[in-house]
Amino acid sequence: MKSIKIYHNPRCSKSRATLALLEENDITPEIIYYLDNPPTPKELNALLRKLGVGLRDILRKQEPAYEELGLGDETLSEAIVFDLVCKHPILLERPIVVSGDHAILGRPPENVLQLLPKTGDA
Are the CB atoms for 14 and 94 separated by under 8 Å?
A: yes
Measure the CA–CA gap between 95 and 104, rounded to whole angstroms: 8
Q: Return the HEC string of 82-110.
A: HHHHHHCHHHECCCEEEECCEEEECCCHH
**Catalytic residue chosen out of the listed positions 2, 3, 5, 12:** 12
Residue type, position 85, single letter: V
CB 83 within 8 A of CB 55: no
- Decide if 86 is catalytic: no
Phi-psi region of 60 (alpha: psi -120 to 50; beta: other; left: phi over 0): beta
Q: Which residues are catalytic?
A: 12
